[in-house]
Structure 1
Amino acid sequence: MFSNPFVELSATISPELMQTYVVLMFLAVVGGTLFDVVHKKSAKYFFENAKKA
């Protein structure tokens, strides 16, 4: 029915390396999002509106 394309990848790359890659990408997304919020001053706008509510 369906085949897992990552089975062949695991033959050449260790599962630990794949897991490390996923964790690093997750941290990069979180870090980039936080940087964007600070850079655009979205957090300041959000907290000012939260105080008004």
Structure 2
Amino acid sequence: MAEKGINQYQLIKDYHFSTGTLDALRKNKSVTVNTIVTLCLILDCTPNDILKVNRTV
């Protein structure tokens, strides 16, 4: 986000993200695929650029 000049306040004000969604992202909690798609569109990136999968099987 910093590389693209987008901050959390802009996500709330300009892109209508809820504070709950931002809290989930900060705490590595579950978010919807729609949230991931929206972030990718805003940041002009792919899911691989913003996601990390941790294997804890």
TM-score w.r.t. length of structure 1: 0.31
* Greater percentage in helix: 1
TM-score w.r.t. length of structure 2: 0.30
Larger-Rg structure: 1
- Higher relative contact order structure (alpha carbons within 8 Å, sequence separation ≥ 6): 2
